[in-house]
Every structure is written in C-alpha cells, then in structure tokens.
C-alpha cells in the first residue's frame, strides 16, 4: 500500500503550473533530477581567464569520440556546456548564439556574458509557468571573458548564479566537494589541471582522457582542447 503522502503529491505533478500544498513545482524538481543524470561538467575561474572541463561519457564503443561535442562557442569570448537533455541544451545554446550575434550587429561590440545569461534564464523561466509546456531538462554553464573572467550556471528553474568554480551533472556533488577543498585562484593552465583532477576524482577507474573536452577562455581568445592535448594534462595530475 502506498503512503498517503504519495497519493497527496500525485495530483500536483500533472501540470507545470500547479503548486503542491508545500509550495513546490514538482515538474521543475523532476527536471533538476534529469540534470543530475547528465555527464559531468566543471567550470573554474582563473587569474587570467576561465576554464571548462567536460566529460563526454561515451555510451557506445562504436561512437567516434571526436564527433561528440560537449562544449559550444556562443561568441568569440563566450563558451557554454551543459548537463541533462542535450537536445534541450542545443536549443538554448542556439538562442544564446543569436543573442550574441544580434548584439554585435546592433551595437558593433561583443555582448556582456551576463546579458546572454539573463536572456537564456528568462526563456527557461517561462517554461516553468506556462501550461502545455515542460521545463527544460538541462543546466547550462556559461563561461566568458568581457571585463574579467565570468562563470555562470542557468538551471531548469530559470535561476542563475555566478561562481568562482562549479560543477553540474552526475558528479556535481562529489566534484563540488572536491572544488571546495582544493580551489584557489591560479592561472588557466593550473585551473585546467584542477578541473581534470576533479573529474578524475569522481570517475576513478572509469577515467580516460579521451572522454574529456576542455576550453580555455582568455582575453586573447578561446582555445578548445581535445584528445592528445587533454592526455598530456592528465599525465600531470
């Protein structure tokens, strides 16, 4: 026999715009659980830039690892990665790219990172209050360099926060705990090693450099790292 509380909650997770008696939007909470099932992404701000390290989590040995792109460029100074439903991420990142492009066309200057983040968060929030829709089952990590290095996460509720270092995906709890113990302000080279170490501490025996993709964003530009470049870094941690 199911507990009474289960029956009480069942009527409140059928639609996104119905609050449960204790003030929760259950569909949004389910979306956040979906993010926890996604592959791990770590972001770290450094003294001269910001770094993202992402686990591509190959689910099939027949898949060519280079065909899986976990990191996307939003503009010449902004990159994004995600955890959760990848198709949802693709839609939101595409929207972020349009925001950045429209800003360049209109103002002939690069967009601020916070402007992109706010625009995406606004879209995500609408999907938490409109009947007939479902929340986005993804968290997006935005990293960029405008006046200084910036690192943000937009989650399925439409909330965004800026971080010194952060993690999303299945290894979020373990990697966040690792970062809280080991994070310090270093240069991007050391931050990259830090990110690889954090993911390695979570994956343990399943760790492999070919699973990882990374990006370094500095004032001078963006550099994406894959394959042999990640392997060299992994040997140093």
Residue 200 is inside which H or E element, if any? helix 188-203
**Looking at the whole model, is its pTM more than 0.85?**
yes
pLDDT bracket for residue 5 (50, 70, 90): low
Counting residues of the chain whose pLDDT is more than 70, the rounded percentage is: 95
Confidence grade of residue 1 (pLDDT, cut at 50, 70, 90): very low
Cβ neighbours for 69, distance < 8 A, ≥ 6 positions apart: 213
d(CA 136, CA 138): 6
11, 116 in Cβ contact below 8 A?
Answer: no
The residue among 192, 224, 233 whose CA lies nearest residue 51 is: 192
Question: Which tens digit of pLDDT belongs to each residue from 142-192?
Answer: 999 999 999 999 999 999 999 999 999 999 999 999 999 999 999 999 999
User: Do 170 and 40 meet the contact criterion of CB atoms below 8 Å apart?
Assistant: yes
Q: What is the pLDDT of residues 115-151, one digit of tens each?
A: 999 999 999 999 999 888 899 999 999 999 999 999 9
Q: Is 36 exposed, middle or buried (0-12, 13-18, 19+ CB in 10 A)?
A: middle
Would you say residue 106 has pLDDT above 80? Answer: yes
- Average pLDDT, whole number, for the chain? 91
pLDDT of residue 166: 97
Taken in order of first residue, the domains within the chain and their CATH numbers are 37-234 (3.60.20.10)
């Amino acid at each position: 026999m199911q507990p009474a509380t289960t029956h009480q909650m069942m009527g409140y997770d059928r639609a996104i715009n119905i609050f449960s008696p204790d003030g929760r939007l259950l569909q949004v909470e389910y979306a956040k659980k979906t993010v926890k099932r996604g592959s791990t992404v770590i972001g770290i701000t450094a003294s001269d830039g910001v770094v993202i390290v992402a686990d591509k989590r190959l689910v099939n040995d027949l898949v060519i690892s280079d065909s899986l792109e976990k990191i996307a460029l939003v503009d010449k100074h902004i990159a994004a990665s995600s955890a959760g439903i990848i198709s949802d991420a693709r839609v939101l990142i595409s929207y972020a790219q349009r925001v950045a492009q429209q800003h360049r066309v209109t103002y002939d200057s690069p967009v601020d990172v916070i402007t992109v983040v706010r625009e995406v968060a606004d879209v995500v929030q609408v999907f938490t209050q409109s009947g007939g829709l479902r929340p986005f089952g993804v968290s997006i990590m935005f990293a960029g360099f405008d006046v200084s290095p910036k690192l943000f996460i937009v989650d399925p509720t439409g909330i965004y926060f800026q971080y010194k270092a952060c993690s999303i995906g299945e290894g979020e709890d373990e990697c966040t705990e690792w970062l809280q113990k080991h994070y310090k302000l270093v240069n991007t080279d050391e931050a990259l090693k830090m990110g690889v170490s954090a993911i390695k501490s979570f994956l343990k025996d399943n760790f492999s450099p070919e699973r990882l993709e990374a990006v370094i964003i500095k004032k001078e530009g963006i550099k994406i790292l894959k394959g042999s470049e990640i392997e060299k870094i992994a040997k140093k941690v």
